Structures are given as C-alpha cells and as structure tokens.
Amino acid sequence: MATSVSLFLFLAPPMIKNKASLSIATTMGFLLLGAYFWIPDTHLQAQTFTPNYDESKVPQYTLPDPLRFTNGNVVATSEAWHQKRRQEILQLFESQVYGKTPSAAITVTFQLKSKNPNAFQGKATRKEIAIQVSSQQRVLTMDLLIYLPNDRPGPYRTFLGLNFGGNHSVTTEKDLSISNRWMRNKEDHGYINHRATEHSRGIYSSRWPVESIIQRNFAVATIYYGDIDPDYHDGFQDGVHPLFYEPGQSKPNHDQWGSLGAWAWGLSRAMDYFQIDTDIDSDKVIVLGHSRLGKTALWAAAQDTRFAIAISNNSGCGGAALSRRRFGETVQRINRSFPHWFNTNFKQFNNREDTLPIDQHMLIALIAPRPVLVSSAEEDRWADPRGELLSLQEADAVYRLLGTDGTGTTTVPSKDRPYFSTLSYHIRPGKHDVTLQDWNAFMNFSEHHLKP
C-alpha cells in the first residue's frame, strides 16, 4: 500500500509565493495475526486497579529479540535490518498497537495566518500557519505555532511537539487568539465546558520555555493535539479519522489507527510544512512530547524518518516503558482508561503482555540510528522510569549493529553527568511534568547531535 500526500503552499494574502509538491510513500505490508474482536467490558472497567510499585514483584519476562526475524533467523547486518527486520517490526506496531495509518490520498495546504517579527520584545519572530487537510469526506485545520530566534539567521534547528491546552496556553503573549476547539475540562486551568477561557493563556508556558529555547538559537513549533483528534472517545467521529473512511466505513478497522496514531500523523504534516519553509532546517527537526504526547513523538519518529531526533518525556506505558514489567500503568489499565488511544487489536494484550509480539524497546529500535533521548522523573512511578531506561538499553544492540555507540555505556547514568550517546537517558527529581531542567537536557542533547 502507499500513502500519497499532495502538498500545496499558499502564502496569503495577497499572492501565492511558492508552490511545492511532495509525494510521501510509505510501504506497508499486511500481517495477518488472526482476527480479534474487542468487546468493552463495563463490569471489569469498574474494578479498581492497584498499580505495582514494588520492583521485587515485577514478573520474570523474556523480551522479543529485535535482532531476530519473525522466522527466528538472526539479523546479522545493517542491510538486513533496513531491508527487512525494521519493516517487520513496524508492521507489528501498526497492526497490533497503534494502528495503521490509512492510505487514501488527501490534500494538504498551508496558509500563513500571521507573522510577528517582534514577539518577546523583538527576540523572536512568531508565525502561525494553518495546515488544512482535506479528503472527499471532510476538511480539518491544524494551527501550527512557530517561534524563530531573531538573533541569528536561519535556517534553524527546530523542536516540534504537540501541546495539551491550545497554542495560546504555551505562551503568555497577549495577542495570540484563544483556541476555540474542544478541550479536556480543567477548571483551575481555565478549561470550562470543554472550551478554553482567557485564564488558560500561558497556563502551560512553564512546559514551553520559549525564551530560553530561542536564546539557544533553536526554533520551536507546536500544534494543539485536539486540532488533530480531540482526546475523548467518541467512536472516531470527529478529528482526522473520518477523512479517511472508505464508503460505508464509520470507524477505524481493528488494525487501523487510534488517537495516538492520528496525533503522530499530525506531527508528520508539520514536517511536510517544514520542508518548504526556508526558516526551518528540515533535516534538523527534533520531535518531542510529554506523557501521552511523548508516546506520540516516539511513534511519529518510528514511522517518519525525516525526524532527526526523538525525545520522550515521562512517556511511560505505550511509550518508552517496557510493557512486560507491568510496573505502574499496565496495558489493561491504559486500554480501559483510554480506549481510543491504541487500535482495537491492542486490547487483546490486556493482562497478556507476554504474548505481545513486540515490546517498547523495539519502538525505540525503529528510530535507529537516529538519536533518542528518554527523559523520566523520579517520582513519576506510574510511567516506570526504570522500564524506560531498560527499553533504551534493550535497543542498544540495534543501534550498535547500525554503527552507532548506542547507549555508549553499560552503567546507569548519574543525574548530573552529561550523557550524549546516541541513546541517552535523563532523569530528574520530581513529578510528572516538563521543566526547564528537562528542556536544558533536551537542548544539550540536541546541540550535541545536530550542529547548526
């Protein structure tokens, strides 16, 4: 199957300045692993869940070997990895975990909505781009917010991530309009009746330290994840999924994408735009995300090799953490709390992690040989910091086969030691969050791997 996307750039008003087209072909294969039908079990959903936080109670497990083909043969060369094994693993994550991205042709257009060369007292240039995607079924618009440093000429190395609260929530700037999209309620943050209020302006700005980022000559770009698919389970009626429905289809098939897959797809559409924006060095884009959006960033980088670096922050279950450890959040728990995140097939692994044909170290391996930084927080046991580190270590063999230094060490990195191997781990004291300390680690790592 092939996914082809036509791109047109409109810079408006008043005239079209540039026009580009690009075809992205993703070869996907079919893997038939038996049909599975998931029936929501409301009785079981009501049962309470007690997470395991005791390392001695982590069950014995054997991880699938990323360097063995499905038929058991050893993957001995980088050619064998790139030509066959990577594809096998990618297909397993598509069909069994996040879901396949449908292949129907869609049109993507870009419109420059605003440009302010004097953002942050003249330190940055702010751009807003409307990314419009359309199929015969419907049209969807995602707003991409970009800050470029004014100190030095571009093109810039660029951080790209989705945000939780609307683009206006990442910045305290007063002249950015408040998102009018569906929001998760959080009254103390200014999200009421599923809409953002003025109180939510800048509410997540500590997670997006724009001034510190541009000061180090990186650009930073973000999209509200709800622009791509609102984060609630409506049977995939809103958001991007219906754009791709075949005639008569009203929800994704069991092996097709859920919300995480859709969000990852949205990151790739931002990357499409970067390829035609001369301010952005599209060979040096770092895709990153926090928590559910950290899972999304890893899955985006696994599928889309245009991303130069991937950084996950506190991504946990379904992100960097090994599922088989069942420490903190588990597959069953995540599928019951968020039935729309993964595909339907993934539900068959509820409480049956040992039957998964993959584990999350193989998600990281899919990003090889590109650098990955996994970032954890000591008190965020729900996300299993140790399971996140182990995933990196288990991906090491693939990275070394491909000629990199992998984790570069066999010892656990200390908190204060800079750690710049291709596979790096960062952990800080404190809770589930993104802090300036995390961003400093992201920037140090990215500066090391992507010279301007």
Active site residues: 291, 432
Judged by CB, which is closer to ligand GTR: 16, or 44?
44
Contact predicate 20/7, CB 8 Å: yes
Relative to beta strand 139-149, strand 218-224 is antiparallel
Contact predicate 213/225, CB 8 Å: no
Judged by CB, which is closer to ligand GTR: 290, or 428?
290
Judged by CB, which is closer to ligand GTR: 225, or 244?
225
CA angle, 403 then 438 then 274, to 5°: 65
Among 100, 292, 325, 347, binds ligand GTR (CB under 6 A): 292
Among 163, 291, 391, 446, binds ligand GTR (CB under 6 A): 291
Judged by CB, which is closer to ligand GTR: 81, or 299?
299
Does position 332 bind ligand GTR by CB under 6 A?
no
Q: Which residue has the tokens 């230094």?
A: 405
Number of residues that bind ligand GTR (CB under 6 A): 7
Judged by CB, which is closer to ligand GTR: 287, or 334?
334
Range 336-365, binding ligand GTR (CB under 6 A): 337
Contact predicate 197/152, CB 8 Å: no
CB of 316 to ligand GTR, least distance (A): 5
CB of 341 to ligand GTR, least distance (A): 8
Distance CA 332, CA 235 (A): 19
Judged by CB, which is closer to ligand GTR: 110, or 342?
342
CB of 95 to ligand GTR, least distance (A): 22
CB of 30 to ligand GTR, least distance (A): 29
CB of 36 to ligand GTR, least distance (A): 22
Distance CA 199, CA 297 (A): 28
Q: Which two tokens stand for residue 190?
A: 């200014």
Concatenating the DSSP letter of every residue in 199-219 gives GGTTTTGGG--HHHHHHTTEE
CB of 435 to ligand GTR, least distance (A): 15
Does position 385 bind ligand GTR by CB under 6 A?
no
Does position 317 bind ligand GTR by CB under 6 A?
yes
Does position 384 bind ligand GTR by CB under 6 A?
no
Judged by CB, which is closer to ligand GTR: 292, or 449?
292
Q: How many CA atoms lie within 13 A of 429 on its CB side?
A: 1
* Residue type (1 letter), 113: K
**End-to-end Cα spacing for the chain:** 37
Distance CA 12, CA 14 (A): 5
Category of 356 on φ-ψ map: left (φ > 0), alpha (ψ -120 to 50) or beta: beta
374: buried, middle or exposed (CB in 10 Å: 19+, 13-18, 0-12)? buried
Does position 375 bind ligand GTR by CB under 6 A?
no
Does position 149 bind ligand GTR by CB under 6 A?
no
Judged by CB, which is closer to ligand GTR: 88, or 229?
229
CB of 397 to ligand GTR, least distance (A): 27
Q: Which residue has the tokens 């710049």?
A: 420
Distance CA 322, CA 386 (A): 9
Number of Cβ within a 10 Å radius of residue 248: 5
CB of 223 to ligand GTR, least distance (A): 16
Does position 329 bind ligand GTR by CB under 6 A?
yes
CA angle, 301 then 307 then 313, to 5°: 55
Does position 334 bind ligand GTR by CB under 6 A?
yes
Does position 316 bind ligand GTR by CB under 6 A?
yes
Which one, of 220, 200, 222, lies nearest residue 123 by Cα?
220
Distance CA 81, CA 86 (A): 6
Range 150-169, binding ligand GTR (CB under 6 A): none
Measured CA to CA in angstroms, residue 34 lies from 92, 101, 170, 348 at distances of: 13, 19, 44, 11
Q: Angle of helix 259-274 relative to helix 292-303, nearest 10 degrees?
A: 60
Stretch that binds ligand GTR, among 9-17, 252-260, 264-272, 329-337 (CB under 6 A): 329-337
Give residues in contact with ligand GTR (CB under 6 A).
291-292, 316-317, 329, 334, 337
